[in-house]
Amino acid sequence: MKKKTFALLIALLTFVVGVAIARFTLPNLPRVPTPAGREKRELQLSNYRLSGPYQHENLTIFLVHGPDQPDSRMFTPLEEAMGRKVVIVHETNHVNELAIKNVSTSEEVFVHAGDIVKGGRQDRVLSVDLILPSSSGEVPISAFCVEHGRWSQREAEPSASFSVSRGMISTKELKLATKQDANQGQVWAGVSTAQEKLSDSVEGYARSSVSESSLQLTLEDGKVQEAATKYADKLTSIVESSSDVIGFVFAINNELNSADVYSSNALFKRFWPRLLKAAAVEAVAERTAELTGEQVSIASVGEFLIASEKGSETLREVTRRTHMVKRDAEKSVFFETRDMDHGGAWIHRSYLTK
């Protein structure tokens, strides 16, 4: 009887250990054939479910699925708020700091790291996520110049304030230079490299005669826009069939690049068109005659997300309300934006390969 009891205990222990291992390792991926004959896969992580790949030329996208966070909030994107003059961005006569103000009495605005503001004394990229409450008063925000050399009015644009831009910085090198390294020299170098690659890719001169150093004016170039739009047209609709898409991961030339994840499906969809366009611009810049290497697997995407969240952690107080957690790993860096007025709830997670 004791032997039977012992054997049952061993069997039960083996089952429990087996379940634990299955929970914390990547499972076998089910294959789902698509009408086009390509295989889409799904992968369940502890926090997310991944699906994909979705591909156009050298740009490959995986979607991140998950539940809306409890009490998730809706914010107005900066682009929309500036377009309606709800938010005003002013010069401070300091290259790396601007002043931003929300004049709405009811709307809260989300400034997305990588947003470009156009005009002033130089075009700038805003380098941090920022929650801008209604009736905020003027708030300082860190920025980097993406237009080397100009420090005066450009044509009929106001020199003391900025107009809305539909662009975001669109290369991993520029994202790392602004968010990870905070280095103005690296930003200027990254702008120049992006302009050169885009010019080569579209077989034209993608620098504007109005200001050759302006990244924003390069992003507005007709040939660059035409090339990027072809990617967007093919991939925009991939988020429409699921109501639980909260982010995406992308690879260019079969190499993992970066990911952005949001606290709700509704918030992700507010940013999706601009995020996709930025990824498309980078894909245009990096086009090659022939793709090499194996396609990025969904398992490697999951491993990238998990590893990024395990880096050494530092905390930055952007404002009293907006805190940013950074985790620096060997091959990637992770940023998480938290809303301290709502229990430190996270709003945006950004993952970048190094």
Give the model confidence (pLDDT) of 267-318 as tens digits: 999 999 999 999 999 999 999 988 888 899 999 999 999 999 999 999 999 9
Looking at the chain, list the stretches that DSSP marks H as alpha helix, in order from N- to C-terminal side.
Answer: 2-24, 78-83, 172-175, 184-202, 215-219, 222-235, 265-285, 298-308
Q: Would 152 be classed as within a structural domain?
A: yes
Which pLDDT does position 39 carry in this prediction? Answer: 55
Contact 259, 248 (CB under 8 A): yes
The range of the structural domain enclosing residue 92 comes to 76-212
Q: Are 169 and 278 in contact (CB under 8 A)?
A: yes
**Using CA atoms, how far apart are residues 82 and 117, in angstroms rounded to an integer?**
9
Instruction: Name the DSSP class of 179.
Output: I
Question: How many structural domains are present in the chain?
Answer: 1
Buried b (16+ CB within 10 A) or exposed e, 288-301: eeeeeeeebebebb
For residue 181, being part of any structural domain is answered with: yes
pLDDT digits (tens, 9 = 90+) for 132-175: 999 999 999 999 999 999 999 999 999 999 998 988 999 999 99
According to the model, what pLDDT value does residue 289 have?
A: 84
DSSP one-letter string for 300-339: HHHHHHHHHTTSEEEEEESSSSEEEEEEE-SSEEEEEEEE
Per-residue model confidence (pLDDT) at position 40 = 63
Does residue 96 contact residue 126 with C-beta atoms inside 8 Å?
no
**Does residue 299 sit within a domain?**
no
- Say yes or no to pLDDT of 24 above 60: no
**Position 62 in a domain:** no
